[in-house]
Amino acid sequence: MASNNFIDYVKICCRSGRGGAGSAHMFRSKGRPLGGPDGGDGGRGGHIILRGNKQLWTLLHLQYKKHVIAGHGVPGSGGLCTGAEGDDVILDVPLGTIARDAETGEIRAEITEDGQEIILTPGGRGGWGNDHFKSATNQAPTYAQPGEPGQEVWNVLELKLLADVGLVGFPNAGKSTLLSVVSAATPKIADYAFTTLVPNLGVVGYRDYQSFVMADIPGIIEGAAEGKGLGLRFLKHIERNATLLFMIAADSPDIAAEYQVLLSELEQFNPDLLDKRRVLAITKADMLDEELEAEIEATLPADVPHVFISSITQKNIQQLKDLLWQQIQDARREDPKPLRHSIWAQKRADDDADEDEFDDEEVSEDQLD
Ligand SMILES: Nc1nc2c(ncn2[C@@H]2O[C@H](COP(=O)(O)OP(=O)(O)OP(=O)(O)O)[C@@H](O)[C@H]2O)c(=O)[nH]1
Ligand SMILES: [Mg+2]
């Protein structure tokens, strides 16, 4: 994934089409001088429609699209002819896109499924022709309705990735390395802080050709809620994840304290994040001997399942997957809907059949430096 092409926020002015006016036409023909009203209705104005597209994973294609304008409806005409509808504009967006009114912040649409269509800005209704208004006391109305005007609304489209597991940790904890080892993703990895600047997604192959989606987001540091480091803006991408995998390096001076810092930053961003299922991974465990591991284990928080892993030696990677899978299944049982439509899951489910040896994949030297 080209990292600088990840756009998760765009603001667009949407102008829907005006409805066509109804016609006030009177029927006339030889032998029927008083033919009566036969004005047709105007066509409705064009809608602006959001459509889910699982092939997309960013809003990049909308970045420079500031105005979207739908067509106007055509007025009705004599002979009870209804005017044509205005042309709709369809905006394809990735799954997980939310549309808000830019002024009020009100959520107008949320796209979670491929092919799902939601009218974001409805076109104006077409006016009724005079035929609708004839009655016993007014058999030849000369009145017809004008078309309804269209709407002009500034909308914000925001993408919140739909993944099953979100990686949370300080910079350099080894998040991207883990993603590169368990999935086919190739995130940038280096031994300096903030290597990852935009989220990366990877599909993790699991036993029996199953898979789940993991999202690697930029590292969080103490004070991120006040804007330190890259801030918390990327945390929105784990808001809809079923499970959070906290990752803390084994060489951290105080693992329990670091865990608390991460929790409190998450809470400041959105307290609901604390209701999610959590797993704690102590990374880089290849640097520990058994004695040290036991010593660290005694200090770990009791309220969260933990596992010592090493992405480099593959230590406990399968155990970690088992643990995550179990949590994902539990979460899906509780709330089956939102995570079923993961962006890549569908695509990779087909590919997975060819990848039996996926779990045993060796980490290549290139991936690690
Ligand atoms: N010894 C050892 N080193 C590791 C392991 N996993 C990652 N590293 C090293 O730790 C450094 C940081 O790894 P990254 O995966 O880039 O860390 P990150 O958490 O993605 O960091 P940011 O993107 O900056 O937030 C790299 O030099 C990796 O080679 C591991 O299991 N064992
Ligand atoms: Mg990284």
pLDDT beyond 60 at 27: yes
Strands (E), 97-209: 97-101, 107-111, 117-121, 152-159, 165-169, 200-206
Instruction: Tell me how far the alpha carbon of residue 343 lies from the centroid of ligand 2, in angstroms.
Output: 21
pLDDT level of residue 126 (50, 70, 90 thresholds): very high
Q: Which ligand 1 atom sits nearest the alpha carbon of residue 313?
A: 31
Choice from 177, 284, 364 to test ligand 1 binding pocket (greatest atom count within 8 A of CB): 177
Closest ligand to the CA of 178: 1
pLDDT reported for residue 247: 95
Residues 34-44 pLDDT 10s: 888 999 999 99
CATH annotation of 165-368:
3.40.50.300
Spell out the residues 6+ positions from residue 359 whose beta carbon is closer than 8 angstroms to its own.
205, 207, 318, 321
Residues 181-190 pLDDT 10s: 998 888 889 9
Q: What is the mean pLDDT of residues 82-86?
A: 96
pLDDT reported for residue 83: 95
pLDDT beyond 90 at 369: no
Q: Which residues line ligand 1 (CB under 6 A)?
A: 169, 171-177, 189-191, 193-196, 218-219, 283-284, 286-287, 310-312, 368
Q: What is the domain partition of the chain in residue ranges?
A: 3-159, 165-368
Answer whether 347's CB lies under 8 Å from 54's CB.
yes
Spell out the residues 6+ positions from residue 86 whose beta carbon is closer than 8 angstroms to its own.
17, 18, 19, 20, 43, 44, 45, 46, 70, 71, 72, 73, 74, 123
- Architecture of the CATH domain 3-159: Distorted Sandwich (2.70)
The whole-model pTM stands at 0.73
- Which protein residue's CA is at the shortest distance from atom 26 of ligand 1? 191
Instruction: Tell me how far the alpha carbon of residue 160 lies from the centroid of ligand 1, in angstroms.
Output: 25
Residue 133 CA to chain centroid, in angstroms? 47
